[in-house]
């Protein structure tokens, strides 16, 4: 890690961060005023940036990754802004699959840092971590003249700092209960927050939703004169072949012709995410983007999205990590275990969660799996202590065989008791999944290095 980059991380980590702090009273109020002012200092890069804006609860990251890969395969220079990062902060800002370099990262932060300091003296509140890195991404994409940027919402939508762009398309992936401490405790409140990225007259690509959620989004969009296109009607699924741990082969029928593609991301839910991505690209062809069927079929094979049902090891026993952190994603994980064909005999579950997630509902899903459970805590500041997790598992009479205060100890315990042809599943948060990847693949920790 070079010195300039290390200093830039320390500066960024000194800013208030909704991702890290559980006590909301210590955070600045969510609004767009701060980022709008900070962007003015950079001559408003967002005003001329062509973009696709993506919100949702489940699958938005995977959908972003697929869309970006498809656009790149069509010969475009594609920016990608995502969160959270799994191993390294630079992952959040990418062009054509390459994360921003450490030097460029430091340069982008240094360019706006004097303005961040200046703004700390006004009454709008201090610039947050996410606002700063968002401005860095927009500036970087503008300077590098990307053809189009895929922008993932960080939290909610309406007041998320990404909601300053004027996208070509808005995409909304499946919505369910999550981040209830900030977004609201009902599905209606959460849906309205996500729908808040819809702009006047800008088309909306809508993934499959519950009937109630779909109704709320359609009514919201109608009031803004924004047409809503249902992804599954634009990219009609005609056939699916389960390739087990290699993903799925999917035949789509679109107005531009049939698309037969292999998506390497595993699980039925990834078929829906691919459908949403294909529908998005199909809609872009109406905006004079030259996107061939052949390019779509070739580029989707290259999609990578770590910590989402990622198989780290197959022999002599299996290790699978997945960032499932709400009821819907936990259900998808259980379904994908069957879909992938991995042996789920005598599973060992390494589980850790974070404040703001529906931990009760997630843990409840794993009753069906009847696992031996090792409770743990990631390095992340919002991680729930294992003593609290133990109270929840006790409520459901689950078989907890160990409580470890860090993922390294949890993994060591799992390896001691695992037998050949059995499986270790690490889940409950992206950070638990990410740390297990670091342990198995011997990757260096970058932040929250406290265990």
Q: How far apart are the first and last CA of the chain?
A: 19
Q: Which two tokens stand for residue 299?
A: 């580029």
pTM of the predicted protein model: 0.95
- How far from 445 is each of 27, 218, 384, CA to CA, in Å? 26, 43, 20
Sheet of strand 348-351: strand arrangement:
310-313, 318-321, 423-427, 348-351, 372-375, 399-403
Do 107 and 145 lie in one domain? The reply is yes
Q: Is residue 318 part of a domain?
A: yes
pLDDT of residue 371: 98
Identify the CATH number of the domain in which residue 422 sits.
3.90.190.20
Contact 371, 349 (CB under 8 A): yes
Q: Identify the CATH number of the domain in which residue 271 sits.
A: 3.40.1190.10
Contact 131, 34 (CB under 8 A): yes
Q: Quick one: 15 and 64 in the same domain? A: yes
Within a domain: residue 451?
no
Last residue of a domain, one of 256, 279, 302: 302
Number of domains observed in the structure of the chain: 2
Same domain, 379 and 250: no
Please check whether residue 331 is in contact with residue 362, taking contact to mean a CB–CB distance below 8 angstroms. Answer: no
Contacts of 209 (CB under 8 A, 6+ apart): 172, 174, 175, 217
Residue (of 148, 132, 155) closest to 39 by Cα position: 132
Q: Assess whether 266 and 351 both reside in one domain.
A: no
The answer to whether the CB of 322 falls within 8 A of the CB of 308 is yes
> Are 252 and 275 contacting, i.e. CB atoms less than 8 angstroms apart?
yes
Report the C-alpha gap between 99 and 93 in whole angstroms: 6
Instruction: Please check whether residue 447 lies inside any domain of the structure.
Output: no
DSSP for 183-214?
A: H-SSHHHHHHHHHTT--TT--EEE----HHHH
Is the Cα dihedral 334, 340, 341, 346 positive or negative?
negative
Yes or no: say if 81 and 149 are a contact pair by the CB < 8 Å rule: yes
Same domain, 198 and 215: yes
| Cα distance between residue 264 and residue 90, in whole Å | 24
- Is residue 341 situated within a structural domain? yes
Q: In this structure, are 282 and 345 located in the same domain?
A: no
Per-residue pLDDT of the chain (451 residues; tens, 9 = 90+): 699 999 999 999 999 887 776 555 556 788 999 999 999 999 999 999 999 999 999 999 999 999 999 999 999 999 999 999 999 999 999 999 999 999 999 999 999 999 999 998 887 889 999 999 999 999 999 999 999 999 999 999 999 999 999 999 999 999 988 776 778 889 999 999 999 999 999 999 999 999 999 999 999 999 999 999 999 999 999 999 999 999 999 999 999 999 999 999 999 999 999 999 999 999 999 998 989 889 999 999 999 999 999 999 999 999 999 999 999 999 999 999 999 999 998 999 999 999 888 899 999 999 999 999 999 999 998 999 999 999 999 999 999 999 999 999 999 999 999 999 999 999 999 999 999 999 999 998 887 654 3
388 and 331 share one domain: yes
Report whether 277 contacts 70 (CB < 8 A).
Answer: yes
Q: DSSP strand E in 75-152: where?
A: 78-81, 93-95, 98-99, 148-152
Domain shared by 296 and 323, yes or no: no
Query: Is 449 within a domain?
Result: no
Let me know whether 333 and 295 are in one domain.
no
- Per the CB < 8 A criterion, the answer to whether 328 and 58 are in contact is yes
Domain that holds residue 113: 3-302
**φ, ψ for residue 229 (rounded to 5)?**
-115, 125
414, part of any domain: yes
Residues 253, 192 share a domain: yes
Q: Which of 181, 133, 190 is nearest to 158 (CA)?
A: 190
Joined together, the tokens standing for residue 402 give 């160990």
Among 254, 272, 302, residue at a domain's last position: 302
Two tokens, residue 273: 């995410």
Give the position of tokens 């969160």. Answer: 83
Whether 193 is covered by a domain: the verdict is yes
Residues 76 and 53 in one domain: yes
Asked whether residue 75 is domain-assigned, the answer is: yes
Tell me, yes or no, whether 398 and 430 share the same domain. yes
**DSSP, residue by residue, 322-371:** ----SHHHHHHHHHHHHHHT---SS-EEEE--BTTS-HHHHHHHGGGG--
CA 326, 32, 110 angle in degrees (round to 5)? 95
Domain boundary among 240, 270, 302: 302
């Amino acid at each position: 890690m070079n010195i300039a980059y290390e200093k830039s991380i320390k500066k960024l980590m000194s800013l208030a961060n909704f991702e890290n702090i559980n006590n909301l009273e210590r955070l600045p109020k969510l609004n767009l005023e701060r980022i709008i002012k900070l962007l003015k200092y950079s001559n408003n890069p967002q005003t001329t940036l062509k973009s696709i804006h993506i919100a949702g609860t489940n699958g938005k990251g995977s959908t972003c990754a697929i869309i970006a890969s498809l656009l790149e395969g069509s010969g475009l220079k594609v920016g990608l802004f995502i969160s959270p990062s799994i191993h390294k902060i630079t992952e959040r800002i990418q062009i054509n699959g390459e994360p921003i370099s450490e030097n460029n990262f430091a340069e982008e932060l240094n360019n706006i840092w004097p303005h961040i300091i200046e703004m700390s003296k006004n009454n709008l509140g201090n610039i947050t971590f996410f606002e700063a890195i968002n401005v860095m991404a927009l500036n970087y994409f503008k300077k590098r003249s990307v053809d189009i940027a895929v922008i993932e919402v960080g939290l909610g939508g309406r007041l998320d700092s990404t909601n300053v762009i004027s996208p070509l398309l808005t995409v909304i992936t499946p919505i369910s209960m999550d981040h209830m401490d900030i977004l609201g405790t009902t599905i209606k409140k959460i849906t309205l927050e996500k729908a808040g990225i819809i702009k006047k007259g800008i088309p909306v690509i809508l993934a499959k939703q519950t009937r109630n959620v779909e109704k709320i989004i359609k009514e919201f969009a109608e009031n803004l004169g924004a047409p809503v296109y249902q992804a599954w009607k634009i990219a009609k699924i005609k056939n699916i072949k389960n390739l087990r741990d290699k993903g799925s082969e999917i035949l789509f029928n679109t107005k531009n012709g049939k698309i037969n593609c292999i998506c390497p991301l595993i699980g039925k839910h990834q078929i829906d995410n691919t459908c949403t991505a294909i529908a998005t690209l199909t809609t872009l062809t109406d905006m004079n983007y030259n996107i061939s069927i052949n390019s779509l079929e070739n580029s989707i094979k290259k999609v990578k999205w770590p910590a989402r049902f990622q198989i780290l090891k197959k022999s002599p026993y299996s290790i699978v990590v997945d960032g499932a952190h709400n009821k819907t994603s936990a259900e998808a994980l259980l379904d994908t275990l069957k879909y992938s064909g991995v042996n789920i005999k005598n599973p060992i579950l390494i589980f850790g969660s974070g404040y703001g997630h529906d931990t009760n509902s997630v843990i409840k899903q794993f009753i069906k799996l009847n696992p031996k459970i090792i409770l743990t805590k990631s390095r992340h500041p919002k991680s729930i202590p294992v003593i609290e997790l133990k109270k929840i598992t006790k409520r459901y009479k689950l078989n907890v065989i160990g409580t470890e205060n860090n993922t390294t100890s949890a993994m060591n315990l799992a390896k001691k008791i695992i037998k050949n042809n059995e499986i270790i599943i690490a889940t409950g948060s992206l950070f638990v999944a990410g740390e297990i990847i670091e342990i198995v693949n011997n990757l260096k920790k970058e932040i929250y290095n406290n265990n």
